[in-house]
Chain A
Amino acid sequence: MIISILKAMQGAVGQGALWGIMALGIYITYRILDIADLTVDGSFALGGCTCGILLAEIGLDPVAATLIASLAGVAAGAVTGILHTQCRIPAILAGILTQLGLYSVNLRILGKSNQPLLKVETVFNGIVDATGLEKAWVSILVGVVVLIMLIAVLYWFFGTEMGSAIRATGSNENMARSQGMNTNFYKILGLAVSNGLVALSGALISQHQGYADVKQGIGAIVVGLASIIIGEVLFGKRRNFAVKLSAVVLGSCIYRIIVAVVLQMGLNTDDMKLFTAALVAVALSVPTFLEKRRQAASYSESGEGGKTC
């Protein structure tokens, strides 16, 4: 019993790390650019399908296939960015349009709705063969190595002139433009980088689970938001950017652990999406309720009773 729970935990952390890459991508749009980007569900599956077909049909090197899949995500993000900035379509709708279009694109890429990847060489079984480590450990290893590199790169990038311009665009577009920033360009850039990370995550996940599926991205945006919000609720809104990014990843792992626990407790996998939606709704409302309670508790009509107003 204990062993099986530990095993489940181990798997959850590995999955959390790989999905954490996606959550980092969503963090860029949701928290930095202040855009709710719904491209994510499509670009996650795009990463998985592109990588899957490159591995299964062309027999490409897994690392190269993963990188090409990420670039496909970059392109998908740019499409949303162009729809939003050049055609003036509201960001949410632009994301939905790209996401919808990508469903057909993904079907075209894969040629069918599901592609098994059990018999092809992937990033993971390559390392399993080379090191003899258990697969669960390998997925944690790959996830952690990729995440450390990504967090370092993102930390550096958002400290550069270009990264600062993206942050300024997200914080105050009016100010950004009046200080000479081409806000349209920086929005497209942010969306592209974000969806590149999402597709990278999709590519790794499909290799990890042993198949690519056109439906693998359904609900991905909500899972990503859950990770971001769990990270913020548990670790507070820290100031250091690297800490913030790490909190997102930890949020992702904790989300996976919660999922593993409720599945162990007998939740039907079909109910999982409802559970996730409810979890995010609760997590999003917790800060609001806490603030209200604090306000109510500290209120006093007369300003007496030792309370300072």
Chain B
Amino acid sequence: MLKISHVSKTFNRGTINERRALTDIHFEMDKGDFVTVIGGNGAGKSTLLNMIAGVYPIDCGTIFLDGVDISRKPEYKRAALLGRVFQDPMLGTAADMQIDENLALAARRGRSRGLSWGVTKKEREEYREKLAQLGLGLEDRMTVKVGLLSGGQRQALTLLMAALREPKLLLLDEHTAALDPKTAAKVLELTEEIVEGGGLTAMMVTHNMRDAIHIGNRLIMMHEGRIIYDVRGEEKKGLTVADLLEKFEQASGGTLDNDRMLLA
């Protein structure tokens, strides 16, 4: 499904701000894989997801998604194959537009946008049902501007939008990190429902080690721009937080300097 070979990325190359963010990444994912991604601050997790999404150009290497070479496609074209949810709930939705309009924009991802209506009556009925499944009461507020929703509501909506066109790959970058614990749990539950229910392929960055172990069928750990640990299946299910911390110390040759990872 996803095949990344020899991908490297250095930001601000040739300046004093040069930052090596990814080093010679090789990574493959099968259809239906749900991979959780962990690693300390600055490990390159977001950069990896951004490279797949095309936010910045890669320096070298190739990225294939579902057999298509997307290495040099612009972000808006790759979007046809991807669904994305960001850490900041403000980023994923258009605040000045209504809930149904936001969903309609997502429903047209990867299609050409012409002069037919932006939202049709028939679609609205469909959205009402999908929103009802979120259990947040948004189905009765479809003409409300998204800017008036809470962060958790916006994040749930973004998740729904990301999955609306059945993406080849769903990219979730710490999408519950800005939410209170209860809302975060709710959004995480929705995420599992949507990914597993829809048989989607997904990558989820998280700082919560317990979530990383319990969610999905595979886990990777990143450190200084490399993937240093990759487990799946039964072996992954059997992991403990202590195992992961030890693994991290071994690989990095030091102790974990990331409090957020320990909070789990």
Contacts and interface: CB of A to CB of B under 8 A. Distances in A.
A171 B76 CA distance: 16
Given A161-B116, A162-B113, A176-B105, 11 more contacts: A159-B118, A161-B117, A162-B115, A164-B101, A170-B96, A172-B94, A177-B79, A178-B84, A179-B161, A180-B76, A180-B77
Nearest to A160: B115
B42 interface: no
The bracket for how many chain A residues form the interface is 20 to 34
Contacts, number: 85
Contacts of B113: 161-162, 164-165, 181
A113 interface: no
A176 B94 contact: yes
27 contacts: A160-B115, A160-B118, A161-B113, A161-B117, A161-B118, A162-B115, A164-B97, A164-B119, A167-B96, A171-B94, A172-B93, A174-B86, A174-B91, A175-B91, A175-B93, A175-B105, A177-B75, A178-B53, A178-B82, A178-B92, A179-B106, A179-B161, A180-B109, A180-B110, A181-B76, A181-B79, A182-B76
B95 interface: yes
Given A178-B84, A180-B76, A163 B118 contact: yes
A15 interface: no
Nearest to B104: A164
A175 B113 CA distance: 16
Interface in A30-74: none
Nearest to A161: B113
Of the candidates A160, A174, A180, A183, the one having the most CB atoms from chain B within 10 angstroms of its own CB is A180
B95 A171 contact: yes
Given A161-B108, A178-B84, A180-B79, A168 B94 contact: yes
B79 A172 contact: no
Given A178-B79, A180-B80, A159 B117 contact: yes
A301 to B, nearest CB: 29
Interface residues of B, number: 34
B114 A161 contact: yes
B109 A179 contact: yes
Contacts of B92: 174-175, 178
Contacts of A171: 94-97
Contacts of B110: 180
Contacts of A181: 76, 79, 105, 113
Contacts of B116: 160-161
A159 B117 CA distance: 6
A159 B121 CA distance: 13
A167 B93 CA distance: 12
Sorted nearest first, the 5 A-B pairs with minimum C-beta distance are: A164-B118, A180-B79, A161-B113, A171-B94, A180-B109
A168 B96 CA distance: 8
Interface string A179-207: 11111000000000000000000000000
